[in-house]
Amino acid sequence: MRTCVVLSYHEGMTTDDRDPLLASLFDEAELDMNGDVFSTLVMARTRARRVRIAAAGVFTGLVLLAGAALLATPLQEFARLLAVGLTTSLIDLGESWLAWIFSPVNMIGSLLVLSAKGIRIGRKKIVNASYP
């Protein structure tokens, strides 16, 4: 069986021992509020919070839109250079049927993907290895 003892914050403490912020919170909790006043206060705070959230969302959207407009050309250029760089052939096989067969793995991008996959598999085997 548990016994729960609730002590008031104000009991047995001098004014020097009290934290002013914490004491103000306890004082606010002891206030009796009329139901209509409380409802009006809650609704006003909720409405103000909705307005702040909506304003923050609009501001964030405008900042992102402006950033996208300013960075559109440099980002497109970077994406184009990246695509050209990653699709560069490792070995020039010409236009033969051999080039068509090896084209998925005969690129710098595929080499990077395969090496990353190999590193991941090796790391998993090392980390999950059990030692006797």
Which residue spans within the chain are E strands per DSSP?
none
Tell me what pLDDT residue 42 has. 87
Q: List per-residue pLDDT tens for the chain, 132 residues long.
A: 444 444 454 555 555 677 787 777 777 666 666 778 888 888 999 999 999 999 999 999 999 999 888 888 888 899 999 999 998 888 888 888 888 888 888 889 998 999 999 999 999 998 887 776
Termini Cα distance of the chain:
48
Q: Which residues pair with 85 in a beta bridge?
A: none
Q: What pTM does this model have?
A: 0.43
Residue 61, token pair as written in the block:
């959207």
Tell me what pLDDT residue 18 has. 72
Reduced to 3 states, what is the DSSP secondary structure of residue 42? helix
**Can you tell me the distance from the alpha carbon of 33 to that of 128, in angstroms, rounded to the nearest whole number?**
61
**Can you tell me the distance from the alpha carbon of 101 to that of 94, in angstroms, rounded to the nearest whole number?**
12
- Cβ(111)–Cβ(86) under 8 Å? no
Residue 9, token pair as written in the block:
């914050």
Residue 47, token pair as written in the block:
């409405």
Q: What is the pLDDT of residues 48-63, one digit of tens each?
A: 999 999 999 999 999 9
Residue 97, token pair as written in the block:
């049927």
